Structure 1
Amino acid sequence: MERRDLEIFLTLAEELHFGRTAQRLFVSQARVSQTIKQLERQIGTALFDRTSRRVELTPVGRDFLNDVRPGYELIRAGVEKAVAAGRGLAEPLRVGFTSPLAGEMVLFAASAYRESHPGAGEVALHEAPLGDPLGPLRRGELDLLLGQFPVSEPDLRTGPVLISDSRVLAVSTRHPFARRESVRLDDLARDKVISLSGPVPDYWLDHLLPRTTPDGSPVERVGEATTRQELLALVGAGRGVHPVASHEVRYYARPNVAYVPFAEAPPLEYGLVWRAATETVRIRAFAGAAEEVVRQQNGPGQVCSECR
């Protein structure tokens, strides 16, 4: 009895339809029928009752199904694990994130990655430092990072945009902006903007905190926050304002911080980043799983604004 014979039997036991079984296994319907007949001859009795209208397991077929399915699943899992190890998938994968929504996306992608590659290693989740998101990647502490774009570095590779979110302005609840329904980018010149401490690329920081407003007024950057909590503490104390992604409102509610939507501002985008020199089949597989999560939730060519 070949493994393929058991696969055909188990699939037919699930589908109870010869045509669907053939389509699912990419074989002819005649091959399915022939295989079942051969199995029944070997066992000496019918495994399925079939008429022109229905297909059902016989009592012997049900017992046979219950007996062989656990063993078949163990064999299949062992083969997939061995294949994964041979392809480099068995090692743990360390994935970083820079925002709460990015962290949720990593968890969804990890589930999809393990489901599509049963022999793959564990996925470990790590929060990247606010002021040095690329540092752990370059030091080899992370294999992948789901971080804020743009990233344009010669030693790093990026995948497509996975998350796109609107911006809001974090201000003290005592700030005049807190009573407004919205602000504009030009309003950044009317107060000080708290900056970030760390070796972040200038172009990345300029995308988050523009040096000038659309009307050409300079934006004053002050202070240097190294963590999210430091940043919000400075904002709450009235030391300045700071633009953030709108999803952070749900995760970082504070009694002395208000979040005011921007009327017009480009979205903040997030995607996967990895070192070009250490790209592996694991990294490509995880990136593919993350893209599949977005496709299933939002449709082809779309991105997540809120992952579920």
Structure 2
Amino acid sequence: MGGVDLSLRLLESLEAVAAEGSMTRAARTLNLTQQAVSSQIRQLERVVGAPLVERRPTGIELTAAGEVVLKQGAALLSSAQAMVTEARLAATGRPDPLRIAFKAQSTAHFMPAVEAALRQQAPELELRPIASHTLPDEIDALLDGRADAAFLWLPIGDDPRFTIHPLLQEDRWVALPPGHPLESRTTLRIADLADVPVIGPRDGMPPAVVDFWFIDPRPDGTRAVFGPQARTPEECLHLVAAGHGCWIAPASTVTYFAHPRLTWLPLLDAEPNVLALIWPKHNANPSSTSSSPKPAKP
């Protein structure tokens, strides 16, 4: 490094601050205190000799120097990961397991085929699935190293730390409570849900993610009606069955979560859900960055 005392932890802190736009949220992502993250950013600024971040009313943004450090730092993090991975491979003669975070309701219809294809293409590779329930759970697993890649529904927010590889898309369906006036219909359009509260997670979710899943605003410019919050699919189903509103979900959810009291109807004019394989840009596990088999389109 030519005498430059640079810790990878400092680069990871800058990467988190850039992605979150906030010292507080970056600290939560890194499992550190806000003071620790601020201290690491100041330390990195002393190493570089220039301000890397600036505080604005909308949040923390990178300076021109910060953008350079972020880009070059990502390459350093990737190289460090590659060094560790190659050293382990040299020592053991086997690649690291490929750890994939997933939600069962999103992947049950194609995961067996993916595993079979991997066994055929790379029999020496161990696939280690990691079950999760929410988007924050999967993002955390990727960032803290518990998972190499994840199957996630897009969008995930504007996060430069990840490589995104879209795989398939599904139509959206609406779960209605028993006795709802719309349950006799065979299909729905967004306008039909004008006064129907929408159930789902909001706290801790990027605004773009909330807007997409709740279809807010609607095509005519009106706002969605927000129902009770629910963190997991099971909580969404419970609240819908209790009559608190509707839940908008991918088509695969309909078959995975059969519920005798609910009516599921296709939402014809909604933008489809896109499922993607996502991994951190600085994850150099060869198993996660090599070409992966694509699930068949349902």
Helix, strand or coil: the match of 1:134? helix
Name which of structure 1's ranges 190-199 and 99-108 shifts more when overlaid on structure 2: 99-108
Question: CA–CA distance in 1 between the matches of 2:217 and 2:202?
Answer: 20
What residue identity is the alignment partner of 2:286?
Answer: V
Corresponding residue to 2:116 among 100, 103, 111: 111
Question: CA–CA distance in 2 between the matches of 1:118 and 1:263?
Answer: 42
| CA-CA distance at 1:143 after TM superposition | 1.1
Corresponding residue to 1:126 among 130, 148, 152: 130
| CA-CA distance at 1:89 after TM superposition | 5.8
Query: Do residues 157 (structure 1) and 163 (structure 2) align?
Result: yes
What residue identity is the alignment partner of 1:194?
Answer: I
Name which of structure 1's ranges 107-116 and 258-267 shifts more when overlaid on structure 2: 107-116
Q: 1:283 corresponds to which residue?
A: 288
Q: 2:79 corresponds to which residue?
A: none
Question: CA–CA distance in 2 between the matches of 1:112 and 1:127?
Answer: 20
TM-score, with length taken from structure 1? 0.62
Name which of structure 1's ranges 92-101 and 219-228 shifts more when overlaid on structure 2: 92-101
Query: Do residues 203 (structure 1) and 208 (structure 2) align?
Result: yes
What residue identity is the alignment partner of 2:159?
Answer: E
Check 1:106–1:279 CA distance in 2 against 1; reply closer, same or farther (3 A cut). farther
Corresponding residue to 1:194 among 156, 176, 199: 199
| CA-CA distance at 1:101 after TM superposition | 4.0
Question: CA–CA distance in 1 between the matches of 2:104 and 2:208?
Answer: 19
Check 1:239–1:108 CA distance in 2 against 1; reply closer, same or farther (3 A cut). same
| CA-CA distance at 1:194 after TM superposition | 0.9
Corresponding residue to 1:241 among 238, 243, 246: 246
Q: 1:176 corresponds to which residue?
A: 181
Check 1:131–1:115 CA distance in 2 against 1; reply closer, same or farther (3 A cut). closer
- Deviating above 3 A after TM superposition, structure 1's stretches of 4 or more consecutive aligned residues are 84-89
Q: Superposition RMSD on alpha carbons, in Å? A: 2.4
What residue identity is the alignment partner of 2:254?
Answer: V
What residue identity is the alignment partner of 1:156?
Answer: F
What residue identity is the alignment partner of 2:119?
Answer: R
| CA-CA distance at 1:85 after TM superposition | 4.0
What residue identity is the alignment partner of 1:226?
Answer: R
Contact 2:100 2:148 in 1 (8 A): yes
- Within 5 Å, give how 1:6-21 maps onto structure 2: none
Question: CA–CA distance in 1 between the matches of 2:129 and 2:275?
Answer: 16
Structure 1 segments unaligned to the other structure (5+ residues):
1-83, 298-303
Larger Rg belongs to: 1
Corresponding residue to 2:221 among 216, 220, 223: 216
What residue identity is the alignment partner of 1:275?
Answer: P
| CA-CA distance at 1:199 after TM superposition | 2.6
- Within 5 Å, give how 1:52-67 maps onto structure 2: none
Q: 1:267 corresponds to which residue?
A: 272
Structure 2 segments unaligned to the other structure (5+ residues):
1-87
Question: CA–CA distance in 1 between the matches of 2:210 and 2:177?
Answer: 22
Question: CA–CA distance in 1 between the matches of 2:180 and 2:231?
Answer: 23
Helix, strand or coil: the match of 1:259? strand
Question: CA–CA distance in 2 between the matches of 1:105 and 1:261?
Answer: 21
Contact 1:130 1:226 in 2 (8 A): yes
Question: CA–CA distance in 1 between the matches of 2:117 and 2:204?
Answer: 33
| CA-CA distance at 1:167 after TM superposition | 0.7
| CA-CA distance at 1:115 after TM superposition | 1.7
Contact 2:153 2:273 in 1 (8 A): yes
| CA-CA distance at 1:248 after TM superposition | 1.4
Helix, strand or coil: the match of 1:137? helix
Check 1:263–1:104 CA distance in 2 against 1; reply closer, same or farther (3 A cut). closer
| CA-CA distance at 1:103 after TM superposition | 3.9
Check 1:116–1:227 CA distance in 2 against 1; reply closer, same or farther (3 A cut). same
Question: CA–CA distance in 2 between the matches of 1:102 and 1:199?
Answer: 24
What residue identity is the alignment partner of 1:289?
Answer: S
Q: Render the CA deviation track for 1:55-81: whole Å, top value 9, x for unaligned.
A: xxxxxxxxxxxxxxxxxxxxxxxxxxx
Question: CA–CA distance in 1 between the matches of 2:135 and 2:230?
Answer: 8
Name which of structure 1's ranges 95-104 and 225-234 shifts more when overlaid on structure 2: 95-104
What residue identity is the alignment partner of 1:94?
Answer: R
Q: 1:16 corresponds to which residue?
A: none
Helix, strand or coil: the match of 2:260? coil
Contact 1:158 1:271 in 2 (8 A): yes
